[in-house]
Amino acid sequence: MDPKRLFDFLAASPSCYHAVQALSDRLTQEGYTQLHEADAWTLTAGGKYFVTRNGSSLIAFRVPAGEIAGFMMTAAHGDSPAFKIKENAELPDGNYLRLSVEKYGGMLCAPWLDRPLSVAGRVLVSEGDKLSVKLVDLKDPCAIIPNVAIHMNRNANDGMSYNAAVDMLPVWMSSEKGSYRAAVAKAAGVAEDAIVTGDLFLYDPQKGVSLGEYISAPRLDDLQCAFSSLTAFLAAGESRSIPVCCIFDNEEVGSETKQGAASTFLYDTLTRLCAALGMDGSEYRRLVAGSFLVSCDNAHAVHPNHGEFADRNHTARMNGGVVIKYNANQRYTSDAVSAGIFRRICESAGVPVQYYANRADMPGGSTLGNISNTQVSLNAVDIGLAQLAMHSPFETAGAADTASLVKALTAFFEHSLVAERDGVYRFL
């Protein structure tokens, strides 16, 4: 797969709001009808639909023409660690205009220093008797977080602790008070006094680059999986199951929001889908029992300079195919059943599979599968693509792995699963 397609999507997605807009535009181009949670839903066999929540989460699905066996679902997330710009952002001091920011998610701070940055997100705008959201992207570099010179900090290379309230404040491109707010208003295409509030973030505007066997780009975690899952969803042929592609927000801060994986968004969508097709609660639960979720969030590749951080028998390498992730405490939702089912699908598609687990003496992160299962309980596996420098503003992954994930998930969407009884499963 040409990495340019992924790079174009990343460039169009400087924030989670832009990512969902880009995905929505793609679905609309492919003939999908947008549903709205505030409306009554009328669905038809063979119909193609999607719904968004908060402009930052999206669920797309197709209704099979015949009998429905269950749901085959993927979940990825559209947010990435970044610096969120505070409401009263401008900090003038006579020499500079700095912006007040705070960390969103668990991030590597050092790579943000001395990097030209831009601003993107959304603003809420007053339009007569209505309030409406407008996306904002300044696109060009307009801020920088400057390092302290080695001459003034001789210990800079001996380990540095960064205080987000001191060390990570960006310098705005103009020292003139009010220039930041004016730039945001211009990008939104509205008068300054029309802006009520906003959710704006710093981001790296550099486009992705190819490095031979590898690719480097901003926001690979987790837009690489979001791109791959929607690409597979659109490419897949029909099966007996309803294919569902989910993109959630706020994974990087715990998912416990109205639009996160811990919210009712997936449950609400699936139950409303079933009700619109004339199914009752019992039929919904029957379908869920024969359903499957692939939680797609990137995995840690073994580091070339620090192999000691990896578990010796569970190392993932870039260009090694799809990574199945395990954790005994269920920070990843994979178990013998779910991993085995997904491994069988990958084998049928000719996609190589790797296995990842944290060292037993090192805590790891969590992701979407176990969290979404609190609302919709079903067999689920956590997978991803191997990458370096996770939670850096510029990350590195394998050039061949996007195609591997698309191939695996396309095969996944083309399967249907039947739970003959607890512990016995059959593909249709």
pLDDT at position 273 is: 97
**Cis bond before residue 114 (omega within 30° of 0):** no
**CA 276 to the chain's CA centroid:** 28
Amino acid at 331: R
H helices present in 149-252, as ranges: 179-188, 220-235
Amino acid at 151: H
Q: What is the mean pLDDT of each run of 10 residues along the chain (428 residues)?
A: 95 98 98 98 96 98 94 97 97 95 96 98 95 97 96 89 95 97 97 97 97 98 97 97 97 94 96 96 94 96 91 92 91 92 96 91 78 90 97 98 98 93 88
392 neighbors 286 (Cβ within 8 angstroms): no
**CA 370 to the chain's CA centroid:** 16
pLDDT at position 159 is: 84
CA torsion, points 44, 49, 51, 56, in degrees to nearest 10? 170
Intrachain domains 3-80+218-427 and 82-203 with the same fold? no
Tokens 């009010």 identify what position? 178
Assess if CATH 2.30.250.10 describes domain 82-203. yes
- Name the residue ranges covered by the structural domains of the chain: 3-80+218-427, 82-203
Secondary structure letter of residue 408 according to DSSP? H
CATH class of the domain whose range is 3-80+218-427: alpha beta
Quick one: CA dihedral 201, 183, 58, 125, positive or negative?
positive
Distance from C-alpha of 175 to C-alpha of 355, rounded to nearest angstrom: 51
Secondary structure letter of residue 110 according to DSSP? G
